[in-house]
Amino acid sequence: MKRAAAALAMLLTLGLGARAQEESGTKKLFGGMLKKVKVNVGGKDYGVNERQLEGATKTVKAFRKSAEEISESEERFIGRAVAAQLLSRYKPYEDEALNGYLQSVLQAVAGVSDRPEIGGGWHAQALDSEEVNAFAAPGGFVLVTTGLLKTLKSEDELAGVLAHETAHVCLKHGLKTIKASRLTKAFSILGAEAAKEYSPSEIKQLTEVFGGAVDDVVNDLVVKGYSRDKEYEADKAGARYARAANYDPEGLSRSIEALGDVKGGMLKTHPGSKQRLKELAKEPGEASEDYQDSPARRKRFAARLAGL
Amino acid sequence: MKPALLLVALALAAGRAMTVVVEEAKVRKSKAFYAPAVATLKQGEKVKVGEAEDGWYRVSGGWLHQSALAGGKVKAGGSKWEGSDAAQAEEVTLAGKGFNEDVEKRYKGERDDVDFEAVDRMEARKVSEKELLRFMKEGQTLPKEAR
């Protein structure tokens, strides 16, 4: 009994899911009437009394458990490492006029997103690659290949692409790909006390967990791709952001259409264009009252991308 | 919500201290990212917030977006930052724990497939408020009210 409760407390502490069900009837324990509950840990049922369960639950609250509880600054460091891997794999495209242009459009779109304020701010970067692809690393790092930029015909389409990537960050899709076991390990090393100093062996373990977490995100971004649902979700939120930023509400759809004939790259990691457009059409949005077509926008788009 | 309950909720919310979790956050004159900044708050600073509207909290001198704060609730579809756990996570990392510079430094030393210099250059890229306003004005995406 004691062992079962200890195991339960430990598992709960580590944030692993445990289900507690109330059992009919009560049992006299510790001199009082305490309701007995059935707790399911790892598929096995254990009987515990309410007081034990309450204690275990309190311990849980002292610890972080999920990707949602990765702090803003931790998200930035995970994002920096993810971006560092992408920038090593793809190489940055060094054209400050183009990068500055991407940065402006990104800031305009992210400013009306769900996270206008983010860790160290939003940052855009072109990647020197013919592969048609775009990535969003946690913490607000948005990277687009020159291959993808070449498929775009307007700033409104570019805004759609950047808004889609912004949405992945706002929705914490990258962080959510980190294996729960890694977070459990990291959070158990860190504990909840801000004052606790960690030992060299703990920082070594923490770095290992960090590296694993970064690899989880990169693997989903580059190799596996997010789930279809996450892509549709990012399309819908992205379209909402682009509209709110007074861009053409059809910009994102058109950029997806343009991907239709492209092979490899983004299409390895994204659902097919037809399916994305179909899903996106389920939530049509009106153009913002302030939206207007603009010759100046067309002109600067052509000028900034002319060098590609 | 009943008016009485609403008043209670407002009273509870008024004067609640929240922590700034982003490196730098702007207090703005109105609830828009392009509105003039009236103050800059730094990571770790506590700020008293009043009522929330459209994702913005009323603070002394203007409005602060909830995404700058721990415990700030992000609207539907956005990520969740509710309750004390998130605030506690920030407290721990603000105290120099968690995934931080030390961990990055060690990680960087162990890998040869990372380019942190390029990341630093990327992070240094920022369009100033003035430039962004000009950019939006030129491209005719700045809302009419702000033109």
Which tokens hold the place of A231? 């892509």
pLDDT of A6 higher than 50: no
What does residue B18 show for φ and ψ, rounded to 5 degrees? -125, 160
Chain centroid, CA A54 distance in Å: 32
Strand B62-65 relative to strand B37-42, pairing:
unpaired
Q: Are B114 and A276 a contacting pair, CB within 8 Å?
A: no
Q: Flag whether residue A127 sits within 8 Å of chain B, measured between CB atoms.
A: no
- Asked whether the beta carbons of residue A119 and residue B75 sit closer than 8 angstroms, the reply is no
- For residues A115-131, average pLDDT: 97
Residue B55 main-chain phi, psi, to 5 deg: 85, 5
Contact B75, B55 (CB under 8 A): yes
Contacts of A155 in chain B (CB under 8 A): 139
Cα A228-A232-A234 angle, rounded to 5 deg = 115
Spatial CA neighbour of B64 closest among B81, B46, B82: B46
Q: CB-based contact (8 Å) between B35 and chain A? A: no
CB contact under 8 A, A84 and B75: no
pLDDT tops 70 at residue A189: yes
CA gap A182, A45 in Å, rounded: 26
Q: What DSSP designation does A196 have?
A: P
Taking alpha carbons only, the member of A76, A213, A87, A123 closest to residue B117 is: A87
Site from A68, A73, A77, A209 to mutate, B interface, most B CB atoms within 10 angstroms: A73
In 3D space, the residue among B15, B143, B134, B62 whose CA is nearest the CA of residue A288 turns out to be B143
Q: Which phi and psi (to 5°) does residue A269 adopt?
A: -110, 0
For the stretch A219-232, pLDDT in tens is: 999 988 899 999 99
* CA–CA dist A44, B5 (Å, integer): 44
Q: How many CB atoms lie within 10 A of CB B139?
A: 24
pLDDT 10s digits, A77-107: 999 999 999 999 999 999 999 999 999 999 9
Residue A286 CB coordination number (10 Å): 8
The pLDDT tens digits of the residues spanning A100-111 come to 999 999 999 999
Judge residue A54's burial from the number of C-beta atoms within 10 Å of its C-beta, 0-12 exposed, 13-18 middle, 19 or more buried. exposed
Flag the least confident range among A178-187, B28-37, B59-68.
Answer: A178-187
Length of chain B: 147
Beta-sheet pairing, B24-28 with B37-42: antiparallel
C-beta atoms of B125 and A100 within 8 A: yes
Chain A residue numbers with beta carbons less than 8 Å from the beta carbon of B95 are 194-195
The pLDDT tens digits for A237-248 are 999 999 999 999
The answer to whether the CB of A152 falls within 8 A of the CB of A258 is yes
- The residues, ordered by sequence, that sit 6+ positions from A286 with a Cβ below 8 Å of its Cβ are A243, A249
CA gap B20, B44 in Å, rounded: 5
B107/A172 CB distance under 8 A: no
Q: Global pTM?
A: 0.81
* pLDDT value at A262 more than 80: no
End-to-end CA distance of chain B: give it in Å, rounded: 37
Residue type at B52? A
Q: Which among A61, A88, A233 has the least Cβ separation from residue B115?
A: A88
Burial of A267 (0-12, 13-18, 19+ CB in 10 A): middle
Q: What is the ipTM of this complex?
A: 0.84
Name the nearest CA neighbour of A243 among B64, B143, B137, B55.
B143
> Among residues B51, B44, B52, which one has the least CA distance to residue B18?
B44
